[in-house]
Amino acid sequence: MRINTLFYCIVQGLKNIFRNKWFTLASVATISACLFLFGLFYSILSNFEHMVKNAEQRVAVTALLDLGVSDERVGEIKAMILNRAEVKEVNYFSAEETWVKFAEENDFGDISIFTENPLEDCAHFDIYLNDVSMQSDLVTFLESVDGVRKVNQSALTARVLTGVNSIISYVSIGIILILFLVSIFLISNTVTIGIQVRKEEIQIMKYIGATDFFARAPFVIEGIIIGFIGSLVPLVAIYFLYNEAMIYVAGSYSFMAALIQFLPVQEVFRTLLPICIGIGVGIGFIGSYTTVRKHLSV
């Protein structure tokens, strides 16, 4: 495409926006509203997923070792566990360390008065996972390891966290699809009106040799611009609302701030910014392109 042709298409696309300003505003407003809801929903889900991930990282599988297992065998077992793809971290506690920790947690005071270690058979590994949904695979492996006498797991917690992650994924996909279809419908209507307004002009252009692409491009550009503007408005609104919400919660509900760690706004927007712009521009392109193809015979 030549530069002057591209410039002409862009200018005509901008003119189309102002020719149908009320429908353009309606399309921008609808896309903005849809993407605002999407961005708000995404911000909440991102923080919720972050909390779930933190909860997953606190779920440990405990592998109790046989009484009298050698230090060499302990090292071998630890190396085998660390080689597992689902394992994030492994901590070993000897029987003596387990007893000291247990006494401190239960405020036993001076344990030197005890002549024997009541937890002598409780040397163990605490194993933390990258993905709690893979807990059952790890447990099956540990139960087959020589030197491991018992494996304690949080099966219910793993199922709950895995189920929550699945729900988050399905709900996100469903909302995105709904917003996508609504926005395409509105842009399609806006572009259709623009085509009807310029119907005679397009007919003349085609009679004197204009290609389908030349007649189609301004409307496609119009849709892309509408989608782009519609994506910027909610991003600005969400950025300020997110910061204000974090400040409000930290100031008014300090107990919640201690329990819940919100993602920094930069972390959320690192993903949200390109997604929103991509969805907005994509909706604008698809809505306008399909509509123009449908009315190309004008």
Same domain, 69 and 211: no
Give the list of residues 6+ apart from residue 59 with CB closer than 8 angstroms, or none. Answer: 128, 129, 132, 135, 154, 157, 158, 161
Q: Count of domains in the chain?
A: 2
* Region 206-226 average pLDDT: 73
Looking at the chain, the whole-number percentage of residues with pLDDT higher than 70 is: 63
pTM of the model: 0.58
Number of neighbours of residue 128 by Cβ within 10 angstroms: 16
Residues making up the chain, counted from first to last:
298
Confidence of residue 298 (pLDDT cuts 50, 70, 90): very low
* Region 217-231 average pLDDT: 82
- Per-residue pLDDT tens for 249-278? 766 666 555 556 778 888 888 888 898 888
CB 90 within 8 A of CB 127: yes
Structural domain ending residue among the three candidates 105, 126, 153 = 153
Residue 146 is predicted with a pLDDT of 86
Q: CA 256, CA 118: separation in Å to the nearest integer?
A: 39
* Region 25-53 average pLDDT: 78
Residue 209 is predicted with a pLDDT of 67
In CATH, what number is assigned to the domain containing residue 73?
3.30.70.3040
Residue 108's domain comprises: 60-153
Same domain, 64 and 51: no
* Higher pLDDT, residue 260 or 290: 290
Same domain, 37 and 135: no
Q: For the chain, give me the number of helices (H) and strands (E)?
A: 10, 4
Q: CA 166, CA 160: separation in Å to the nearest integer?
A: 10
Q: CA 124, CA 74: separation in Å to the nearest integer?
A: 9
Residue 134 is predicted with a pLDDT of 75
Query: Which residues lie across from 61 on neighbouring strands?
Result: 127
Positive or negative torsion for Cα 227, 232, 233, 237: positive
CA triplet 118, 123, 128: central angle to 5 degrees?
130
Residue 156 confidence (pLDDT) above 80: no
CB 237 within 8 A of CB 272: no
Same domain, 95 and 186: no
